[in-house]
Structure 1
Amino acid sequence: MKIVYITQHFPPEIGAAQGRAYDMSSNLSNLGHDVHVLTTFPNSLPIKKVFKKEKVNHLTVYRSFRIRDTKTSSIRRLANYLSFMVSSCISGLFIKKPDVIYATSPQLFQGVTGYFLSRVHRTKFVFEIRDLWVDFAELLGQFKNTKLLNLARKLENFLYRKADHIIVVTQGYKQRLIDQGIPEEKITVVPNGVNPNTLNQITTQPSLSIKQQYNLENKFLVLYAGNIGAAQGLDTIISAADQLKDDTSITFMIIGEGVEKQSLIDRAKSLQLTNILFVDSKKKEELTSYYEAADIGIVSLKKHPLFEITIPSKVFDYMSMSTPVLIGVNGEAREIVEKHHAGFYFEPENPDDFIKALKYAQAHPEELKDIRLNVKHELLQSFNRETQAIKLSDTLRNLTKSTRKELQKKTTSL
């Protein structure tokens, strides 16, 4: 099949969305599909061309212009989304008729591109929902204008109904769409996961070098690596670090960027905490040694029912690196960690429960060792992206087969 894969997030940018888009599109290509990726230029680099076509392994990648997202202004971010929507609509016009247009969220405007191109090319439109974008924006106060919020919901419902098929990443997302009136047979769950060939062998030397670099040789290192945003509830870590400031055996490290980073740094400074380190964002390959050095890794979201149907990709990042998980997310994410014996749960936004779970993990090194030895195998049994790509490929093939049958019926009736 010829597939147009639309994603604003794609390497060389760093992040969970970029990793999933690259892995899934590459795996589809490895299965024999002709994959054309519509994406944009890296946000960190100045744009020298309006459009650029390039080959990334077996993928044909079309990069188109966007207004740079400064990550400090909601208006600027909206302009970033809308500019890519327009430019990707234009670049998609130059691709000869595909069999499927596949648009992946979180932001909805990629769905607009997908729907538009599916109408122009008269082909199937598949919409992947990796994030309940409007719901989360409302919950986190990112949509304060009621009119804009209502418009976003109308656009969301429009895209759900116009899509020929919908891919979601959790069972909870599927049920939420069914509750909104989307037919169950129109929805397929393809969860997050990891590519087997990206899993690195654990070595001891990198962990030693990281702990030596930060003078943490005798410390129990508690790591958070990822987006430092409003949804993560990372204030809990600061509160816990404050309560544990006299415990010299534990050090916290937060790696990444986000809108909440400076406020967390300011609070840590005001509390005069010396047991917490803030480190700038690292490339995926650079993070490997930090994962290996960590005694445990934090996955955290705020306490809300919506987050109970969300599975942060960070769960899979830690598991893929054999790093034990300290998870503050209830629901499906917690079930994965506990079912696969990957770590320990604490109640979201509860510093006392966080400390209780952390101290339990610290006091049971044999359990941590067992996790490190077995968790990667557990992960690949259920969340292998190569297997997931086969499931997605089968879904897309069945969708295009139904189209051919419909056309044959129409031709026969004529």
Structure 2
Amino acid sequence: MKILYLSQHFPPEIGAAQGRAYDMAKNLVKEGHEVTVLTTFPNHERNRSLFKEETKEGIQVRRSFRFQDTKKSSKARLANYFSFMFSSIISGLFVRKTDAVYASSPHLFTAASGYVLSRLLRKPFILEVRDLWVDFATILSQFSNPLLLKWARKLENFLYQKADHIITVTYGYKEHLIKQGVDGRKIDVVTNGVDIEDIQSAASEEKEEIRKKHELGNDLVVLYAGNMGAAQGLDVVLDAANILGPEAGVTFCFIGEGVEKDPLKAKADFEHIPNLLFLDSMNKEELMPYYQAADLCLVTLKNHPLFHITIPSKVFDCMAAGKPVLIGVGGEATDIVLENEAGIAFEPGNAEELAEAVNKAVKNREWIKELESNVSEVVKQKYNRRTLARKLSGILENVVKGEKND
């Protein structure tokens, strides 16, 4: 089967969306499909051409023009989204043949591009809902223009209704869409997961080097690796570090970028908060030794009902590295961690509970080792991306067959 896969986020950029798109496309190729990914140029690079073709792990990758997102204004972000939407439609029309159009959201404009291409190419349109983009943009005040949000909601509902099939990454998202009037019979859940090959290639011998380099000594290291944005609510970590104090035997290590990184560093400096280490973003290979050096991996979101039906992909990244998850996310994500004895939970946004959980871990290192022994096997059994790609492959084949039989 020939699959046209749209995702604005794709390597060499670093992030959860990029990782899922790459791993899923790569594993669909291993399942025997021909996959063409429509994406754009890495955001940190200037466009040197309007279009570019390359091959990566058997995936045909077609990059198309976009305005650079400066991360400083909603206008720049929208220009980035709209420019890719239009350029990806043009790029997609030059793909010689396809059986299905698979578009990944966020954001909605990539999904809109997928819908237009599906109609122009007369092929089924499958929409992947990775997050509730309009809802989260509203909660986090990313777009304050009420007219813009109104039209975004209309576009979202239009795409949900027009999609021949929908893939969500959590069961909570599926229920949320059904409550919005989407036919549940056309929704399947394919969760996030991990690439097992990456686990096997993780470097552990650099663990002591990392601890020595950053003077971590015998501290219990809590690692947060990823986007430092408004949704994550990372102020709670700084408040917990303040509660624990300088003699706690704990270091909170932050690796990544995001709009909240500078404010967090400024708060840490102003309040003289101890036991914090901020490092720049790293690629997967560079990051793995830091996972090995950590004792716990932190996953947190703000305390809001919609985040309770979200499962951050970081949960699986942490588990893939064989590390217990220190989770401050309500609902489905916490259920996964606790039911599989893969970590410790605290109430989202509750600094005292976070400090208490970390203090308990400091005093009971053997318990942390027991949790660690559970983690990797759970991922291999339940959240292997090769297995998940096989599930998605079957869904896509059924959609295409159903279309042909109509």
Range of TM-score over shorter length:
over 0.9
Q: Deviations over 1:252-293 (max 9, x none)?
A: 111110011111111100111231111111111111011111
Q: Secondary structure at the match of 1:205?
A: coil
Q: 1:194 to 1:153 in 2, by over 3 A?
A: same
Q: Distance in 1 between matches of 2:250 and 2:140?
A: 31
Partner SS, residue 200 of structure 2: coil
* 2:40 and 2:66 in contact (8 A); partners too: yes
- How far does residue 201 in structure 1 lie from its aligned partner after superposition? 5.7
Matches within 5 A, 1:119-134: 119-134=119-134
Distance 2:241 2:27 in 1: 42
Instruction: Give, as a single letter, the amino acid of the residue that structure 1 aligns with 2:315.
Output: V
Distance in 1 separating the partners of 2:56 and 2:11: 10
Contact 1:227 1:257 in 2 (8 A): yes
Q: 1:55 and 1:251 mapped to 2: Cα distance?
A: 41
1:155 aligns with 2:159: no
**What's 2:366 paired with?**
366
Stretch deviating more after TM superposition (382-391 or 148-157): 382-391
Question: CA separation in 1, counterparts of 2:298 and 2:198?
Answer: 21
Matched, 1:304 2:308: no
Q: State the one-letter code of the partner of 1:66.
A: R
Deviation at 1:204, TM superposition (A): 4.9
Q: Distance in 1 between matches of 2:78 and 2:218?
A: 46
Whether the 8 Å CA contact 2:129–2:169 is kept in 1: the answer is yes
Q: Who is 1:323 aligned against?
A: 323
State the partner residue of 2:55.
Answer: 55
Query: Aligned residues, how many?
Result: 406
| Separation in 2, partners of 1:32, 1:48 | 33
CA offset digits 1:186-243 (Å, max 9, x no partner)? 1000000011111136665311111100111221111111100000010001111112
> Aligned-pair distance for 1:59?
0.9
Provide closer, same or farther for how the CA distance between residues 202 and 91 of structure 1 changes in structure 2, counting only shifts above 3 A: closer
Matched, 1:278 2:278: yes
* 2:227 is the alignment partner of 1:223: no
Are 1:137 and 2:137 matched, yes or no? yes
Post-superposition Cα deviations, 1:66-109, rounded to whole Å, max 9, x if no partner, equal 11111121111111111110110000010123110000011000
Give distance in 1, aligned partners of 2:83 and 2:241: 42
Q: Which moved more, 1:318-327 or 1:202-211?
A: 202-211
Other-structure match for 1:107 = 107
Task: Report the counterpart of residue 257 of structure 1 in structure 2.
Answer: 257
User: Superposition RMSD on alpha carbons, in Å?
Assistant: 1.1
Is the 1:228–1:261 Cα contact (8 Å) retained in structure 2?
Answer: yes
- The runs of at least 4 aligned residues of structure 1 exceeding 6 Å deviation read none
AA at the equivalent of 1:158: F
> Which letter does structure 2 place at the counterpart of 1:26?
K
* Structure 2: runs of 5 or more not aligned: none
* Distance (Å, rounded) in 2 between the aligned partners of 1:220 and 1:389: 36
Which secondary structure state, in structure 1, belongs to the residue aligned with residue 298 of structure 2?
A: strand
In structure 2, how many angstroms separate the alpha carbons of the residues matched to 1:248 and 1:123?
59
Alpha carbons of structure 1 residues 352 and 248: separation in structure 2 relative to 1, 3 Å: closer
Does structure 1 retain, via aligned residues, the 8 Å contact 2:232–2:301?
Answer: yes
TM-score of the two chains, using structure 1 as the length reference: 0.96
Which residue in 1 is equivalent to 2:178? Answer: 178
Quote the Cα distance in structure 2 between the aligned partners of 1:117 and 1:246. Answer: 57
Paired letter, 1:33? H
What residue number does 2:193 align with? 193
What is the CA–CA distance in structure 1 between the aligned matches of 2:246 and 2:388, rounded to whole Å? 46
Quote the offset at 1:178 in angstroms. 0.5
Query: Equivalent residue for 1:2?
Result: 2
Residue identity opposite 1:327 in structure 2? I
Structure 2 CA distance, aligned partners of 1:337 and 1:57? 32
Hey, what's the Cα distance between the residues in 2 that align with 1:320 and 1:391? Answer: 20
Tell me, yes or no, if the aligned pair for 2:192 and 2:383 is still in contact at 8 Å. Answer: yes
Q: Give the conservation status (yes or no) of the 8 Å contact 2:340–2:374.
A: no
For 1:239, the aligned partner's letter is: D
Render the CA deviation track for 1:285-312: whole Å, top value 9, x for unaligned: 1110111111111100000110000000
Distance (whole Å) between structure 2 residues aligned to residue 56 and residue 187 of structure 1? 30
CA contact (8 A) 1:208 1:217 kept: no
SS of structure 1 residue aligned to 2:206 = helix
- Cα contact 1:105–1:111 (8 A) shared by 2: yes
Aligned pairs (5 A) from 1:395-414: 395-406=395-406
Matched residue type, 2:154: K
The code of the aligned residue for 1:357 comes to A
Aligned residue for 1:63, secondary structure, equals strand
Secondary structure of 1:36's partner?
strand
Q: Whole-Å Cα distance in 2 between the matches of residues 374 and 253 of structure 1?
A: 23
Q: State the match for 1:292 in structure 2.
A: 292
Distance in 2, Cα, partners of 1:91 & 1:386 = 28
Q: Secondary structure at the match of 1:199?
A: helix
Q: Is the 8 A contact 1:344 1:361 kept in 2?
A: no
Q: Is the 8 A contact 1:340 1:379 kept in 2?
A: no
* CA positional deviation for 1:390: 1.0
Paired with 1:249 and 1:203, the residues of 2 have a C-alpha distance of 25
SS at match of 2:212: helix
Q: Normalising by the residue count of structure 2, what TM-score does the alignment of the two structures yield? A: 0.98
- SS of the counterpart of 2:36? strand
Label 1:205 to 1:32 Cα distance change in 2 as closer, same or farther (>3 A).
closer
Task: Please say if residues 104 and 127 of structure 1, whose CA atoms lie closer than 8 Å, have aligned partners that are also in contact.
Answer: yes
Mapped to 1, the partners of 2:360 and 2:203 lie a distance apart of 25
Q: Distance in 2 between matches of 1:277 and 1:193?
A: 28
* Change in 2 beyond 3 A, CA 1:327/1:123: same
